[in-house]
Structure formats: structure tokens, C-alpha cells
Amino acid sequence: MATDPGSTRSAERAGPIAGAVAVSAAAQRPHIALAHIEKVYGSEHGAVTALQDINLSVGRSEFISIIGPSGSGKSTLLMIVAGLVGATAGSVVIADRPVAAPVTDVGIVFQQDLLFDWRTVLGNVLLPAEIRGLDKAAARTKAMTLLARVGLEGFEHRRPWELSGGMRQRAALCRALLHDASILLLDEPFGALDALTRDQMNLDLQELWLTDRPTAILVTHSISEAVFLSDRVIVLSARPGRIATEVRIDLARPRSIDVRDSAAFVAYQHALRLAIGHP
């Protein structure tokens, strides 16, 4: 699906899970291409290399997840893709254009919902439309549709603090999807939610993603969430973050929660757990 300059090395490293490793097939030009990305943070105690030689290509409409130990620079990588954090070295190319400024054809969901208390739920979802100067009526219709689809019908005029954590994160998801961006970046969006809510959010996200099929990159700590949602899972090593391996997930969509009990799913999880280095 995507050309991955690092896949040869990944395949070498993958060892026991080689069968699950994606075999690159340049079926189409990558939507997002990262080449030799390096990120070094300077501090009083010397430089810390957060990311090293990251080469990664994401195909259009592909859903990939990035997992790895804490401090492996997952979130930093996502912010580099969005053009919000500059890489120390290397290049980011999105739709054949090098990224030099914040990418605006993108919807981002962070771990915190970042809803503004001074706006209603609807006002928060409409924020991107206001800032981009989109047509108000159309944006409003779209926002109402999105809110209804995630079960927030009737809460449009409530304030964020009147909502539960899961509902707030759903509103944040609607905000990210409002302007039909071609890229969806998810930075541990469900990390703060309880397990049951998280399952529901995974189903919601899958359904919303299947509708418009934006290119999606999910950063997560949860192996099962990564396998459930992704076409491909990228494993970063501990600091400095490097791509340790990647695993292609061949499970039919739409996936139900029950897929997690299937032998294939369990095998993927097992392989990824080994790759991260957990016992």
C-alpha cells in the first residue's frame, strides 16, 4: 500500500513476526512521507535525542497507529507531521508538498479534549469553521450531523463542563472532523477514558473514519486499540525513538468488538507486545 524506505530494516528486525510485517507495494504515491526525521531537544543538561532516522510513508486513506514505550517521541512525531513542531533534521512531505508551516488540512484530537469552557458544545465544534471563515450555515448543518452521529444530540447548547469525559472527547472528535480534512491526527485521544467508554469510542471512531476515510495516524499506548483500528501498526523503540518494526493488520472492516477474541487479533497483539519488549 505504501512505500516505506525503512521496511527492509524493519523486516530484518522483526524476526519471529516477519509474516505479519507489511510488504511494501508502491500501489500509490504516499499521502504523508517522512524521511530521516530526527528531533533533538536541547536542555541545560545536554541534548536529548527524541527521534532518530524515522522513515515512514502513509498511503492515502490508510489508518496507521504508532505505539511504543513512554518517552519514545510518539507525540512529538505526530506534531512534526502536523508542522507544529519542527524536526531537527529530515523532511515531511504531505501530498507531494514539503511541510514548512502548520498543516491546515488536518484535524487533530489530543489526549485532553481542549474544549473551551466559554463556548457551547456546538460552538466548540464550529470553532474550526469560524477560524477558517467557512460558510456558517453549512458548517452548522455538518456539526449537528456529526454530533448526532456520536450520540450528542440534545447537548449542542450545553457547556463542556456539563458533559462526561467520553462525551467531551466525542465533541472534540466532531471538531476535528468538521472541515473534512484529509488527515486525521489522534494523539492518545482515549487515554484518559475508562475501558468501556474507550471500546465505544473505538467503534465510533472506526465508523466515522470509514465514512470519509481520511488518512489517519493514531498515537496510543494501547496495543489492542492500535490493532483494532489500524491497517498498519508502527512500533517505536525506547528513546531515542526509532522505528523498531511495523505490523500490517489484515482484518476485515468494519471490525466488531468481538474481533478482539479472534485468533488472528490475539496473534497480532502478541507479536506487537514482543516487539515493544514487554514480557
Partner 1 sequence: MTPPATPPSRPARRLPWASLVPSVGYPALIFVVLVAGWEAGARAGLFPRYLLPAPSDVLARCLTTADLMGWHALMTCDEIVVGFVLAASVGVLLAAVIVFVRPFEQAIYPWLVVVQVVPKVAIGPLLVVWLGIGFLPKIVISFLLAFFPVLISTMVGLRSVQQDSVFLLRSMGAGPLKCFVYLQLPNALPQIFGSLKVAITLAIVGALVGEFVGADHGLGYVLVVSTGTLDTVLMFVAFVWITGVSLLLYALVAVVEKLCVSWHVSQRSGPLTRLF
- Location of C-alpha cell 502548520: 102
DSSP for residue 132: H
DSSP for residue 238: S
Binding mask 179-208 for partner 1 (x = CB under 8 A): x--------------------x--xx--x-
Distance CA 54, CA 246 (A): 12
Residues 44, 96, 117, 261: which binds partner 1 (CB under 8 A)? Answer: 117
Residues 8, 98, 100, 116: which binds partner 1 (CB under 8 A)? Answer: 116
* Residue 210 one-letter amino acid: L
Distance CA 206, CA 182 (A): 16
Residues 9, 149, 221, 239: which binds partner 1 (CB under 8 A)? Answer: 149
CB 102, min distance to partner 1, A: 4
Options 127-135, 136-144, 221-229, 241-249: segment touching partner 1 (CB under 8 A)? 127-135
Distance CA 215, CA 76 (A): 18
Residues 14, 50, 82, 275: which binds partner 1 (CB under 8 A)? Answer: 82
Distance CA 100, CA 103 (A): 8
In a 3-state reduction of DSSP, which class is residue 234?
A: strand
Nearest Cα to Cα of residue 245 among 27, 22, 93, 59: 22
Options 6-14, 26-34, 114-122, 271-279: segment touching partner 1 (CB under 8 A)? 114-122
Q: Which residues bind partner 1 (CB under 8 A)?
A: 79, 82, 84, 102-104, 106-108, 110, 112, 114, 116-118, 127-128, 130-132, 149-155, 158-159, 161, 167, 170, 179, 200, 203-204, 207
